Amino acid sequence: MTAPYLGNPKRTIEVLQKYEFVFQKKFGQNFLIDTHVLDKIVNAAEITKEDFVLEIGPGIGTMTQYLASAAREVFAVEIDKVLIPILEDTLQDYENVTILNEDILKVDIRKLAEERNGGKPIKVVANLPYYITTPIIMGLFEGEVPIDSITVMVQKEVADRMQVGPGTKDYGALSLAVQYYAEPYIVANVPPNCFMPRPKVGSAVIRLTRHEKPPVAVEDTKLMFRIIRASFNQRRKTLANGLKNSPELSFTKEEIQNVIAACGFPEGIRGEALTLEAFAALANAFVKLR
């Protein structure tokens, strides 16, 4: 595709100077200024003219232009009201873009998919600040929003955490939650010099393709995630102690030991050694116990 005009640093600087824009630390703003990375994101998200795309955090509209050229419709949600007039300017030639000034956590995305996409699965694309990555991604999955995939730019360490398996130091509640809902795939690593201003850490683009149905059969998903959180809240403790100390669970020490034994796990096992299947088996055993 011929690159739209915002993908280079010179144009980005012109737009920021024209509006005397000041970066807001509280919003974790880092704008992408590399056309190769922009192409990679749009290609990884597999956007076609059939697609309704929800973009979270469009910034000055750099990626929005790319998405609008590829998709049927783009709905961009930006929390910083200072950016709204800039977006109205940079996106004025794109008739298939709607901009909403709102916190994405307050948007009824299910209703949006219903109204704009006939309830069919939507594609989500975002460049997310570190502090809000997990709540946004988990909110999208847990809210039972019809989603085909989420392609996001996140801190590299977070992307790694989403895709690792048991026994690694990055493995934790986020890995399990993401893998329960989706298939994670790291598309590209993105160095700090691809952004303005430069972040202190590396980033990565990760695509989460929603599972048609979860990879494990679990009777009580909420209970399974409470068990998972309890297992990683105190990483160095054994699974039994983690579950016993959790304010979210009300099983006795004896019940916990019995369930761990019934599942065939050694008594000193730690949560970080368990697979998603193992956590599902634990949760189902506790449901039986009730």
Is 255 annotated to bind ligand? no
Is 32 annotated to bind ligand? yes
Rounded to the nearest 5°, which phi and psi values hold at 55? -105, 130
52 forms beta bridges with 73
Instruction: Give the residue among 76, 39, 41 at the shortest CA–CA distance from 57.
Output: 76
Q: At what angle do helices 276-289 and 253-262 cross, to 10 degrees?
A: 130
Contacts of 119 (CB under 8 A, 6+ apart): 113, 146
Is 103 annotated to bind ligand? yes
Is 30 annotated to bind ligand? yes
Element (H, E) at 145: none
The first and second tokens of residue 43, run together, are 């290609």
Task: Name the residue with tokens 């200072």.
Answer: 82
Residue 143 CB coordination number (10 Å):
12
- Which residues are annotated binding-site positions? 30, 32, 57, 78, 103, 127
Binding-site annotation, residues for S-adenosyl-L-methionine: 30, 32, 57, 78, 103, 127
